[in-house]
Structure 1
Amino acid sequence: MSYLRNFVSSRCLFHHSILPSVNTSACWHGSRTRLFSTTKISMTIMPAWVIDKYGSNDVLRFTRNASFPVIIYPNEVIVRVHSAGLNPLDVSMRGGYGAATMSMKRDPLNIKQSGSEFPLILGREASGVIMECGLDVKHFRERDEVWAAIPPWKQGSLAEFVVLSANEVSHKPKSLSHVEAAAIPYVATTAWSALVNTGGLSKDNCAKKRILILGGSGGVGTFSIQMLKAWGAHVTVTCSQNAERFVRGLGADHVVDYTAGAVEEPLRALEKFDLILDNVGGDTELWALNLLKPWCGAKFVTLVTPFLQNTDRMGIADGMMKTAATVATKALKHLVKGVHYRWGFFAPSGPALDEVREMVDAGQVRAVVEETFSFSQVPQAFEKMEKGHARGKTVVQISRGGDDL
């Protein structure tokens, strides 16, 4: 029944221009009349970039025969993707990073065979138009323009359509194009999870707080600078010298060049911080926590954690035990020094994107798109991502939109 409902209503919404159609009929929904294709093949498949195994860039494969997404739960929506944002996580997932944890999330009872996630569609950000709503969806309707950050255990946005839970979706900012909107959701929800959920910051308590962002010129860093400045914080950023003008243009108050030598030396000369957001990892935590104000509730929040590496290497049970022991040990070690050590994680959230949308439309946050690629250039987009040293986001334009609306 669910498949039949998707089969009929999806055609009432869109005509696939990419696939051949045999006949066109009219579908009435309320007072509106829409065209739909009656070609059976266009109702069951879609174009997408997939991987059939983990590996380097050559595992990326374009297909016109990817399975069309189907609504299974009543709180889900199908979104036609106009643009998809890429992140370093996509490159890591292409190589198998987090595969053990993602497999457990997709199949908690371990019923399916190994490799059942393939063909896998990458892409953690999407901006597009709702094609269909599940029966329990109340806050969205067909044709709404939306944006979303996609959980890594779900099929991604490098396809013409994607199915998502309604609580992962938010109405797109009216001031942004789809290309611009696709550059924000993943980095915004990651920053929101780290700074708000884990760090305890908000627009009401952020004024005059001193924040240090280690690695500020990437996607999460550039969004965090803008959000924190909108909330009245003083923001210090580490980045390379050639990115200084870029991050200052986003609002950074003080910039430290990590290419000029040991970055901890100039940072020690500054007033201590209320919160540090670490996008770098490595040996950073060996010295960075000494930059926090002791016994004032100051926090060090790192987004570079060994959680997925532990589960990939040791298995789910042992990896989680190892992870729990590690974070507990580090938290206790630093707590006795008067500072808090925390791990931050990406957490998809439609409500968080609602808050971000208001900031975007108010002109407090802007999209930072470094380069845009066409749908046929996905491998080139991944190659660009692998080079690193980003000055903003890489976006893939899936569909130009308009004709089907």
Structure 2
Amino acid sequence: MKIKSSILSLAATAAFVSSASAVTIDIVGSTAGRTAVYNQVLAIITETSSAASGATLTGSNQAIIHGTFGAVPVIVRLNFTGSAAGVNQVANRATIQVPFFAETVGLSGNTVSVPFSGGNIANSAAEIGYSDVFQTTTAFRVPALAVEDEIAVIPFQFFRHSDGNTSLTNVTSQLARAIYGGAGSVPLSLATGNVADAAKTIYGTGRDALSGTRITTFAEVATSQVAVSQYQPITSATNGTGIVTALGATSTGGFTSGSFVANVLNSTFGDGTSGNADTIIGYLGASDWPAQVAGNAVALNFNGVPYSVANLQNGSYTFWGYLHQFNNGFAGFSAGDATAVGNFYSSLRDALVANPGSGVQPISIMAVFRDGDGAPVGPNLE
């Protein structure tokens, strides 16, 4: 248990006793690596119970897992706040509190769905973070993280929404710059070269400024991280689900989670333009790709190259970044608990390096490398 943990209400005291000796480890960061992180957390601990904000752990941005790490009782709390947000939260953990599930949530049953709201939430500092961009690419370069490990490769793809125009099969860097660095939309003819498509439109949607997926995307296509224009479509249900009822206004903002972008891309237009006219495109990391398959959104080639592990490995597909795991020390724990958290950090890092899974690829398979986000891809001669 953290010395700094928030004081719980008297009503929760009785339930809290059962977990009082556990070491609480809080994790934040990249939604693009979410599924890989969940799977490897479960691989290195023995789970006794858990809860999540959604129907499944891997599909949820917030979760709590009770169990043991070796002989140490642990409570692992996760809130996938976005890569840049996670960098800021861990680098400045002495002053920034992050909402997590309260330690008393999820004490019975596995993956019980619990609302992430009200008395189910407690604020705490984060120990471990994940990002699909380097700290130096974010706006939060100071203070420097104590440890930043490159542990895997995250591929990204552009998708078009499920009933978008079938003639759109490819996104070039130039097309992405024209959309996201321009007015948020372009005529379809700019992509197809067919003048008959001039009256049809491609609309761009995507993530907010704290997202590593967004930072990676705009670094890769060489457009501004600040002068951004994209749509945040309005749907008939929450978090991008249902049908698209309106495109909304363009802004520099965006969705807080890749799962919300995935929901929009899985939706259909509710304005009578479905099928052959207007098309929404968006960018997603590997953790959100399974949702696309289920929803029939269509993956697009990038600069003429389709995504495959082979194309990623040989360098012909360049829309990717490194998954980073990081910490800024473990102040606030007793000496024994800090050792346990450090061992957990190392075990989780090593598990992800060896077998990231969930569409995230091991660095060891790569025949190419890059020195930074959006940097040239070159041969790995080591």
* Same-fold call, TM cutoff 0.5: no
Scaled by the length of structure 2, what TM-score is found? Answer: 0.29
Output the TM-score relative to the length of structure 1.
Answer: 0.28
Which structure is higher in RCO with an 8 Å CA cutoff and minimum separation 6? 2
Q: Between Structure 1 and Structure 2, which shows a larger proportion of helix residues?
A: 1
